[in-house]
Structure 1
């Protein structure tokens, strides 16, 4: 495989994507909803900032270090951008990859392409690289637009917030790559582009809406019925009638607490396992601890972020491997 040939194919695909009507239309919708989300996020940020300043004035100099209110973060604005990226970013990724190979098969140009001094792995890798580059441009455009609006509104991120924005951007790219790899695999497997886009959108909505519900239901089925809380003994005026019975009841309550933790753990393991197949859930797992770091302890947040990143990487790798393996063995006539 020659790198020069890969970049040649990637350059052509990149140019085709940026001049494609379907790509530009979905990108325009993404940016439009991103702007709407930014307006809502900035409005909410200004309200939170006003409340923060009011609390500072009320606290005055008498408030101790632990009693000071927490300053609102502009990362909440990017939470609204993420809400736009989930539906429109996923559809943009599918639109970028669903016809990369199928359109060549339909037009019978794939055989002509491979008759040139270019190998199959150079073709599939070049097309994938060109699609990834186009998605990267779309993502950079959305984030740059958000930062530009913030700066125009005199909202300047701190150094820590810049790092957090970079993490959100990296997770967003992994999220787009997940559905791009899915669409690329469908483009190789199916014979027609129409079938590839239908299957891609159907899988997108199944992953977005049905899979989390299925994980919850399956977790309830596997975990079984929750343990029953022990019945409270009879009391008179708030005091137990029999002290020994009351002590036994307290011991049963402690056992019930342990059983409930075990039950929730079994159910959560099943739910988390099913959610590994959902890039949307994994994307949430990475973004929200970064956008709202006060929501959980730092150790739990770091573990959740790494699990989400690993799930997104594995999802993309599996479908790209499917596309690569199928394309290398494809019978082209």
Structure 2
């Protein structure tokens, strides 16, 4: 493969994307919704910050004791941006990739292109690089607009927050590459652009909407019915204000044995539920993406949730004296989701590559 010829193809595809009305319209819509979301998110952040300062004043003055409020983070604004990336960003990635090969088939230019002194792998690699560069540019513009709005309202991110924002951008690019490579693969397999677009949108809808619903049904079916607590004890208030139990008196030893059996059944139920949930999450790029973004923008609560045991008696306890973990440490704990998000674009591109190398251009 010649790097020079590959980059010529990539440059052509990149310029075609930037001059495309389709790319411009979707990107403009993306930025408009982004600006509106940033405006609303910054307003909510300022309200939370004012409430935090008011509570801290009460704590320092001694009028409020036994509790320390959580300081709001500007990274919470990027959680809302990730919701837009999941939908509009994915549509943009699909729009970039769905006709990269199928358009060449329809216009009969693929045969002409391959008749030149250029290899097939240079063509498919160049198209992939050009599309990926367009996605990288789109996310770069999103981050620049977001940072500009933060600076306009007088918010200067710290070094850690800035590194988290950059990591947010990298993860968002990886997520969009999933749908770009999916569209590229189906563009290689489909006979025309219309079929490629429909097939890609169908897969997108399945992964983003139907899979979570089917996953919930599968989880409930596989895990079975949730065990019920063996004893339900209620209390009523007597006329003199005393609480009186309405339950029957039970043998303490018998009650202990029944409760131990219930706890074992409940633990097995929640383990089954967690196993199926992990499998369903692995099949959903959206779920992986949102989980990783959650670890970036809110590492403390994600770490608490990940380290808390599951079960009917789970109580998540936060220690106000414990320093919040760095988001990179929390990301290390969900490495499986990161590997899946990294591997899926590679697998899809390999599929597109092999199909393109075997395509019949007669």
Q: State the TM-score bracket (shorter-chain normalisation).
A: over 0.9
Against the structure 1 CA distance between its residues 46 and 264, is the aligned structure 2 distance closer, same or farther, given a 3 Å change threshold? same
1:265 counterpart (260, 263, 271): 271
Equivalence map 1:40-189=2 (5 Å): 40-60=40-60, 62=62, 67-189=67-189
Partners of 2:259 and 2:25 in 1: CA distance? 59
Q: 1:325 — aligned with what?
A: 354
User: CA deviation digits over 1:80-123, x for unaligned, max 9?
Assistant: 21111111000000000000000001111011111111111111
Partners of 1:199 and 1:305 in 2: CA distance? 31
Deviation at 1:316, TM superposition (A): 1.2
Query: Do 1:97 and 1:183's aligned partners in 2 also have CA atoms closer than 8 Å?
Result: yes
Partners of 1:65 and 1:130 in 2: CA distance? 58
Deviation at 1:229, TM superposition (A): 2.7
Q: 1:293 — aligned with what?
A: 299
Against the structure 1 CA distance between its residues 306 and 113, is the aligned structure 2 distance closer, same or farther, given a 3 Å change threshold? same
Partners of 1:36 and 1:109 in 2: CA distance? 42
Q: What secondary structure sits across from 1:230 in the alignment?
A: coil
Deviation at 1:251, TM superposition (A): 2.4
Query: Do 1:277 and 1:315's aligned partners in 2 also have CA atoms closer than 8 Å?
Result: no
Partners of 2:72 and 2:232 in 1: CA distance? 45
Deviation at 1:199, TM superposition (A): 1.3
Q: What secondary structure sits across from 1:297 in the alignment?
A: helix
Q: 1:22 — aligned with what?
A: 22
Deviation at 1:3, TM superposition (A): 1.1
Against the structure 1 CA distance between its residues 225 and 65, is the aligned structure 2 distance closer, same or farther, given a 3 Å change threshold? closer
Against the structure 1 CA distance between its residues 183 and 241, is the aligned structure 2 distance closer, same or farther, given a 3 Å change threshold? closer
Instruction: Quote the RMSD (CA, aligned, Å).
Output: 2.3
Partners of 2:356 and 2:118 in 1: CA distance? 14
Task: State the number of aligned residues.
Answer: 332
Against the structure 1 CA distance between its residues 234 and 72, is the aligned structure 2 distance closer, same or farther, given a 3 Å change threshold? closer
Partners of 1:88 and 1:198 in 2: CA distance? 17
Question: By percentage of residues, which structure has more helix?
Answer: 1
Query: Do 2:227 and 2:262's aligned partners in 1 also have CA atoms closer than 8 Å?
Result: yes
Query: Do 1:99 and 1:193's aligned partners in 2 also have CA atoms closer than 8 Å?
Result: yes
Q: 1:280 — aligned with what?
A: 286
Q: Which runs of 5+ in 1 are unaligned?
A: none
Deviation at 1:198, TM superposition (A): 1.2
Q: 1:4 — aligned with what?
A: 4
Partners of 1:266 and 1:100 in 2: CA distance? 43
Deviation at 1:197, TM superposition (A): 0.9
Partners of 1:240 and 1:36 in 2: CA distance? 56
Against the structure 1 CA distance between its residues 66 and 122, is the aligned structure 2 distance closer, same or farther, given a 3 Å change threshold? farther
Equivalence map 1:204-283=2 (5 Å): 204-231=204-231, 237-238=244-245, 245-283=251-289
Q: What secondary structure sits across from 1:100 in the alignment?
A: coil
Query: Do 2:13 and 2:130's aligned partners in 1 also have CA atoms closer than 8 Å?
Result: yes
Query: Do 1:75 and 1:161's aligned partners in 2 also have CA atoms closer than 8 Å?
Result: yes
Query: Do 1:285 and 1:304's aligned partners in 2 also have CA atoms closer than 8 Å?
Result: no
